[in-house]
Structure 1
Amino acid sequence: MTHAENDRSAALKIRGMTYPLTLQLSLYADLLRVMQGIAPENVYVVVPWANFVPQTFRVADYGAFFRKARRAAEEATGAGSGEHYPEPTEHCDICRWADACQTRWRKDDHLSLVANISKSQIAELRAHAVSTTKALAQLPSPFPWKPDRGSAASFEKTRAQAHIQVSAREAGELLYDLLEVVPDTGLCRLPEPSLGDIFFDIEGDPFIGEHGLEYLFGYHYRNEAGDYVRLANWAFDRNTEKAIFERFMDFVTSRREQFPDLHIYHYAPYEPATLKRLMGRYATRESEVDRLLRGNVLVDLYTVVRNAVRASVESYSIKKLEAFYGFVRATPLREANVALTALQVALQVNDVVSVSDEIKAVVATYNDDDCRSTEALRDWLEQLRTEIIASGTAVERPAPEKDEPSEDLSESEARVAALIGALTYNVPVDVAERTAAEHGKWILAYCLDWHRREAKSNWWEYFRLGDLTSEELLDEKAGLGGPI
């Protein structure tokens, strides 16, 4: 009799066999081989969203990859290989040694401290004996050599970023530069402010259940009197996740009837990506989401900032920029992080009852801070735009986009929606709650418009890539940038 590895700790990580999980389970299997003298045929992962039924993975399928990775690790850590530097990785966000590494990087003036620098740029700079932020800042302009990968312009941008960070560090003050105004980028992406504008932020966790959960939709706007109105909608299960998504989309649709020129401001691409994902997951409010995207109603201030301002920050996170526009948070970030962790852990283990009102209040205030900060950032960018125009430089507004599909398409959508509604009447939202017959009806219903939905997603991606600058495309895996 042999033992097979049954891993519950991996349950919160698995979304298909990613290579870190492959290595983890393969190592467990190899340790069992040593202990019992025979290798287990399979390894198993127990996941809570599948009623704790183990998922089976055949060890031999991953054996060659594991042996190659193990051999490389053994060679890298072998005797006489010297000290290994703590290079930044994705794991740093949750590593208990993060503070120690941060101290080391600052002591060494590590190149990773430069905002938006890539690993390939760091490697090339080191190959040319440029190993610190200050050394990078002191390189001449234009850039002194032709990069092996990427454009000289992208390296020049990184050099300029290092220069402003080093200058601010030595001066002991915040610094920023306004970048050259380029049509259709930066400040030229700011639409005319409207009384109907909405400021939007979503809180979610990809490790809740099999597909993650968006547990808080927060947004605010100004009423006719200019007073602040805050909405926060919670979801702790699939039914309410669908409900808060639909509630937000219905709110936006209704508000656009009153304010056709409104825009929804957010920071970074998470919000539009989430709206598209929830639309696909629940096959609801498809036309409404499509109209937001067609009409460029969603405004990502991160892309505006990156192409409008060079700031003395190590990261262009909105929280790092708040000092420039004087925003002060109501909830300290450390307190917010504690509450976020407690909430997400409770949801991951399906222990909703342990989520106290105090925890929810802290998370809601943190989310509200993000929404208010987004509005304050928009106002600061508008102020910068006004200053540039006053200096004699034109800064155009983006042209309005048509958001309505053709009349024939609208009629087709209405007919399909009616059929879907009839087929899915009383079918539970959560797949785990459906019978086999109900799930079959659900699949049949959403096959009706499958091809058009898939084509729509491809067009969304096409236009998303089309909105990126040539430099942004260099770091975009789905697109091509630079001379081709």
Structure 2
Amino acid sequence: MIVLTDDLLLNYTRCTRRAYLTVYGDRSQRTADKEFVLKLRREHQRLVQDHLTGQTVVTPDYAPGDWQAGAEQTELLMAQGVEQIHRGILYWDAPLSTLDSLTTTPQAITAVGRPTLLVKQTGSSRFGDWCYRPVNIKLGKRPKSEYKIVAAFQAILLAHVQIMPPTLAQLILRDGGTYWVDLAQWEGKVWEVILDCLTMLGAEEIPEVFISRQRCSLCPWYDHCHQEAAASQHLSLVPGVTPSRYSALQAVGITELAQLAQLDPQCLQPEVDRPIAAQMQQQALALVDDRALPTPEAMVRSQTFPPLAPIELYFDLEAEPDRNVDFLFGVLCVNHVKQTETFHGFFAEKPENEPLIWQQFLALLHRYPTAPIVHFSAYEVETIKRLTKRYRMSQHPLKTLLPRFIDVHDWLLKLAVLPVESYSLKSVAKWLGFTWRDEGLSGDQTVCLYEKWLEAGDQDALATIIRYNEDDCRATHKLRLWLTEWQRSLHNL
């Protein structure tokens, strides 16, 4: 018996391996949910509560995890014609072939759907002259395909319960926007996903590991999967190797790091352009040799790399996207002549203090009008442009600030290929020998710490945020010094 829930199906659309591990994995290899994941759950709960405020809803009464009892209570409420049912359960326990006339698979499953709401509408069902449609409130900012697949899955179960398939499902997202899902359009796709998922689970053969940094970072199975990938030197750990490029490499028999390091870039065309294939080959070679390599354009581009200035400002910021606030501007002022370093942290004790710390930050930049402003990635400059527009800066014109910014991440990609898994500041600085004082802390976690500060004035949380930001600035400084030496070494070749 396989229990197929909408959450399991959602995980399958994002990562087949995660769905498998959810069912068959060793729970001891699963890490506790990260603080940022817990924060997202709280935000989702608030989003749901905000939507329900002032509305009349009824929630079925059942013991947690007793889905069959929850389904029975939900059907009773539907039969009574309740306008909105919150956290209702849609349940079907039968051979798969009875759910879909297109398949003869006799496999027995228990299917469970848990839409945020079941909303009554005019129509016909076994309950009377009314029926229900599923509504899901999601924290995302756009109507992702996986949301629509889940809605279509819930619609299949709802059709079984009310003997009337709904035609539309509703998505309500973080921005308050409403999106309608044409269920007829998604029915074929959701059956394809259901059958693929059940086939994978029925085979009891774990899918191949593939580390995708954006999708994997918050997964509780990440450490387990990463350990396996690292042990086998899996090609997904090579920067630039995406799932589609990995498939292209497999098609020509490239499955090992040493093979990729010897790759002829021509052999992947037309699936992968030659310059991209060459980058992957160089990246693999750097990893095999465990050394930095110059990019093909390094000699030419290094001629315009900015030399060290007498005074430089190393800049990093922390932001809370959900509150739309940049709550910490950190600047490490480095005087290379006097060999002094001074850190300035401009912290918004409340979100509405952002204009104040913005002005304090600008005043510091103005104090050193010719000092380069060194940062890692384009985000800092994008933020400067955005805040300049928001606060209509005139005293410190943007056109005088922008030429001072030096993005060391951009320069790193132009000049060097490093033996690293990613070109994040954490990964690069670690290779350079830099360590953060709070090991394991991430930018996501500083957002959680800021929430603790706002809710309880937690001084330890505040100190940790500032310490983390200062270390980011110092890591950026370390990379800047390494690039300076790297540029010199290129010209000594």
**Are 1:4 and 1:40, in contact at CA under 8 Å, matched by a contact in 2?**
no
Alignment of 1:362 with 2:488, yes or no, is no
CA gap 1:357/1:31 in 2 versus in 1, 3 angstroms: farther
Amino acid at match of 1:275: I
Q: What letter matches 2:483 in structure 1?
A: L
Instruction: Answer whether contact 1:4 1:29 (CA < 8 A) is retained.
Output: no
1:266 aligns with 2:391: no
The offset of 1:190, in angstroms, is: 2.4
1:220 aligns with 2:363: no
SS of the residue aligned with 1:79?
helix
1:67 aligned partner, one-letter code = E
Using the alignment, how far apart are the partners of 1:214 and 1:342 within structure 2? 14
For 2:178, the aligned partner's letter is F
Gaps of 5+ in 1: 169-174, 392-484
Q: Which moved more, 1:213-222 or 1:101-110?
A: 101-110
Matched to 1:340, the amino acid is T
Q: Is the 8 A contact 1:199 1:220 kept in 2?
A: yes
Quick one: distance in 1 between partners of 2:349 and 2:152? 34
Residue in structure 2 matching 1:342, options 439, 442, 448: 448
Q: Is the 8 A contact 1:114 1:158 kept in 2?
A: yes
Whether the aligned pair in 2 keeps the contact of 1:339 and 1:359 (CA below 8 Å) is no
Equivalent AA in structure 2 for residue 385 of structure 1: Q
Q: Does 1:132 align with 2:239?
A: no
- Compared with structure 1, are the counterparts of its residues 227 and 62 closer, same or farther at alpha carbon in structure 2 (3 Å cutoff)? farther
| Correspondence for 2:143 | 17
- For 2:349 and 2:252, the matched residues in 1 are separated by 52
1:92 Cα shift? 0.6
Measure the CA separation in 2 of the matches of 1:357 and 1:76.
50
Aligned Cα root-mean-square deviation (Å): 3.5
Match of 2:360 in 1: 247
1:85 maps to 2:200? no
Pick from 279, 285, 292 the counterpart of residue 401 of structure 2. Answer: 292
TM-score normalised by structure 1 residue count = 0.64
Residues 7 and 44, structure 1, Cα contact 8 Å, conserved in 2: no
The residue that corresponds to 1:400 in the other structure is none
1:202 aligns with 2:328: no
**Structure 2 Cα separation of the partners of residues 286 and 122 of structure 1:** 51
AA partner of residue 242 (structure 1): P
CA apart distance, 1:198: 0.8
State the AA in 2 paired with 1:377: L
* Unmatched segments (≥5 aa) in structure 2: 1-80, 87-114, 118-134
* Equivalent-residue separation in structure 1 for 2:171 and 2:408 (angstroms): 44
Structure 2 counterpart SS, 1:77: helix
Residue among 272, 282, 297 paired with 1:160: 282
Q: Which amino acid aligns with 1:3?
A: Q
Scaled by the length of structure 2, the TM-score of the pair is 0.63
The 8 Å contact of residues 233 and 257 in structure 2, kept in 1 or not, is answered as yes
Q: Which has the higher strand share?
A: 2
Once the two structures are TM-superposed, the CA of residue 374 in structure 1 deviates from its matched residue by 0.9
Which of 54, 70, 84 is residue 3 of structure 1 equivalent to? 84
Post-superposition offset of 1:382:
1.1
Q: Distance in 2 between matches of 1:165 and 1:28?
A: 46
Q: Which of 196, 204, 209 is residue 76 of structure 1 equivalent to?
A: 196
**Is contact 2:209–2:225 with CA below 8 Å preserved after alignment?**
yes
Distance in 1 (CA, whole Å) between partners of 2:455 and 2:197 is 46
Q: State the Cα distance separating 1:299 from its structure 2 match.
A: 1.1
Cα distance change, pair 305–58 in 1 and its aligned pair in 2 (3 A)? closer
Contact conserved, 2:143 with 2:171, CA < 8 A, in 1?
Answer: no
Assess if the C-alpha contact under 8 Å between 2:294 and 2:417 holds in 1: yes
